[in-house]
Amino acid sequence: MPLVDPVTMRRRRRRLNEVPKEQSVEEDDSKTQSASVPGRRRGVSPIFLILLAVVAIAGLFRPVSVRLYNYYIRRTYFPQTLMRYFIETPVHDISMTVPVYYECADFQFPDLEEAVDIQFRGRLRRKEYIALSYGVRLQKGEIEKYNAGEYGNDTLFIKMLLSDQNAIYVDGARNYAELYYTLQSIESNDLPFFVTQLLADYCFKEELQHYSEDRFMKLLYNNDTHFNLMHSDFIENPRTRTLMSDPPVNITLKFTLLGAEQFSWDIQEAFQDELQPYARRLSGLFNFTYLFEREALSNEVISEKSIDDKFPVELMDLPGLAQYYMNSLNDDPNLVHLVFYPFALANGTIENKTVDSRQIYSASENTFLKIGNWGSIYFSHSPKENPAHFTAEKLKDCMWSFSETIMDFLDFPNDNMAPILRVEMFERVMVINYLTCYSNLLFVIDMWVKENITSYIDGSTIDTVIYTLELRSQVLTLLNEGNSYDSLIMCQKMVSILRQKLFELGLQGRTSDLFAQYVLEAAAQEV
């Protein structure tokens, strides 16, 4: 008997707040929600304790009857209502808090923090329909302390400056933003609104989109008697699917210097200084392989027709570039091309070139061109002291540009934010995906228990469920403390333990069958 009847499986995409009440998803305000959840969660421990007590007592006296008694108790207390709760509301008890420091030297606003908190949360609830509780912990700080690194390298700092117009600036290289406000905006008390706008529209927008209730898709099975929820990342992004089931994902980063006859570079050193910290932090998700290469310019003749339309036709006559691009088109799709191209290779032919009305050459700066999912090209002036050699110091900006390319390639949210903040946003998004995935694994167990009503339910299955529920509560605590990295690691552990259990029960195929079937069907509907 199949776990689900594929014919009744349909795609339903709607806001959770349209779900009828009896299906137990309640869309009330986040405060009462988070208040109601700990109450339920606390229900886990007594059951667990009862189980333990029974096992211990029975174990001491009558080993033979343990199984029977145990069997009965465990079946009776199998936390199915609890499971249903986590299946139907995979992320509603989550509360994330992101710390943000600000300095406002010209004026004192005693209630700014509170006003921003209320506006920000209100906006996420009413306008963005966020399925979980997401807030910023705005705290007063000082720019000197920020510059001295006292707030950590991953905490956003906002400097607020009195100006003749309202404006916003976000630094893509550092965890830093500026907000310019006018006297008039103070009179009309618009500052909290501007800060909210800065956070919700510029800093965290793309991350928040992943938490919108629209992104949790409800799947109905068995004549609509059962349902679970799936995150749309999982359905739409094959890499997310791999991350959920079999991390890490293999990614190759290929750093190439063109013009090997004339130039050399300290790429490994630059990589270690600038990119290694991120690579190390992401190693639970991605297995990076690095290739460092210098390539001589090729004289091959390439016709415009033979190259694909992603390569800018304006750059066809730059020595060696189109040739390199052509030869790379058959590379593994999980390879990111990071190409370094000294301006000097072009002998001035590059001077007046524009791509998408952007000047490729600048007399004073290096430039950077992204090409879809292929990678990017960094165009650089030669160093003054030693024109043929690029030191690690000279490659710093290039490394930042490459980190942007890599993060874009991996679909990290929000390309106008600093790399470390993008990493954290991605980690939080993945935690949400893992939690949704976890609730799907619970769903498989729940279905199996229901249909297998007459057979023996192994006590270790229940213990595993309860243990992973405890891990889940640690995930939530870490997330609330702003520790996205440890939260993610804990999530991976939680999911892999439950997945291992499904494997032992011979149910591992069911999750993938279920997902594959759904993905196929979703794709068919989109055509």
Interface residue list for ligand NAG (CB under 6 A): 1, 152-153, 223, 242, 246, 248-250, 277, 287, 289, 319, 347-348, 351-352, 420, 448, 451-452, 455
Tell me the C-alpha distance between 352 and 300, whole Å: 24
- Among the listed residues 337, 347, 349, the one whose alpha carbon sits nearest the alpha carbon of residue 382: 347
* Cβ proximity to ligand NAG, 9 vs 168, nearer residue: 9
Type of residue numbered 60: L
Run of H or E residues at 323: helix 321-328
User: Shortest gap between Cβ of 249 and ligand NAG (angstroms)?
Assistant: 6
User: Shortest gap between Cβ of 180 and ligand NAG (angstroms)?
Assistant: 28
User: Shortest gap between Cβ of 335 and ligand NAG (angstroms)?
Assistant: 11
Q: What single string gives the DSSP state of each residue in 430-470?
A: HHHHHHHHHHHHHHHHHHHHHHTTTS---HHHHHHHHHHHH
- Other beta carbons within 10 angstroms of residue 73's beta carbon come to 20
Question: Which phi and psi angles does 95 have, rounded to 5°?
Answer: -130, 115
Tell me the C-alpha distance between 322 and 320, whole Å: 6
Angle ∠(394,370,423) on CA atoms, nearest 5: 75
Task: Give the list of residues 6+ apart from residue 276 with CB closer than 8 angstroms, or none.
Answer: none
User: Shortest gap between Cβ of 162 and ligand NAG (angstroms)?
Assistant: 32
* 3-state SS track over 4-69: CCHHHCEEECCCHHHCCHHHCCCCCCHHHHHHHHHHHHHCHHHHHHHHHHHHHHHHHHCHHHHHHH
Would you say 405 and 370 are in contact if contact means Cβ atoms under 8 Å apart? yes
Tell me the C-alpha distance between 46 and 521, whole Å: 42
User: Shortest gap between Cβ of 56 and ligand NAG (angstroms)?
Assistant: 26
User: Shortest gap between Cβ of 451 and ligand NAG (angstroms)?
Assistant: 5
* Cβ proximity to ligand NAG, 228 vs 461, nearer residue: 461
Tell me the C-alpha distance between 22 and 224, whole Å: 14
User: Shortest gap between Cβ of 334 and ligand NAG (angstroms)?
Assistant: 8
Would you say 107 and 186 are in contact if contact means Cβ atoms under 8 Å apart? yes
* Cβ proximity to ligand NAG, 334 vs 474, nearer residue: 334
User: Shortest gap between Cβ of 41 and ligand NAG (angstroms)?
Assistant: 29
Task: Give the list of residues 6+ apart from residue 48 with CB closer than 8 angstroms, or none.
Answer: 466
* Cβ proximity to ligand NAG, 90 vs 419, nearer residue: 419
* Cβ proximity to ligand NAG, 122 vs 238, nearer residue: 238
* Cβ proximity to ligand NAG, 333 vs 348, nearer residue: 348
- Among the listed residues 372, 320, 328, the one whose alpha carbon sits nearest the alpha carbon of residue 350: 320
User: Shortest gap between Cβ of 40 and ligand NAG (angstroms)?
Assistant: 28
Q: Residue holding tokens 């009503």? A: 453
- Other beta carbons within 10 angstroms of residue 364's beta carbon come to 5
Would you say 371 and 378 are in contact if contact means Cβ atoms under 8 Å apart? no
User: Shortest gap between Cβ of 118 and ligand NAG (angstroms)?
Assistant: 31
* Cβ proximity to ligand NAG, 75 vs 125, nearer residue: 75
* Cβ proximity to ligand NAG, 223 vs 357, nearer residue: 223
Would you say 170 and 202 are in contact if contact means Cβ atoms under 8 Å apart? yes
User: Shortest gap between Cβ of 351 and ligand NAG (angstroms)?
Assistant: 4
Name the strands in the sheet holding 156-162, side by side, starting at the edge strand that comes first in the sequence.
Answer: 133-140, 95-104, 156-162, 176-181, 167-171
User: Shortest gap between Cβ of 460 and ligand NAG (angstroms)?
Assistant: 12
* Cβ proximity to ligand NAG, 17 vs 23, nearer residue: 23
Distances (CA, A) of 170 to 104, 380, 521, 526: 16, 24, 41, 37
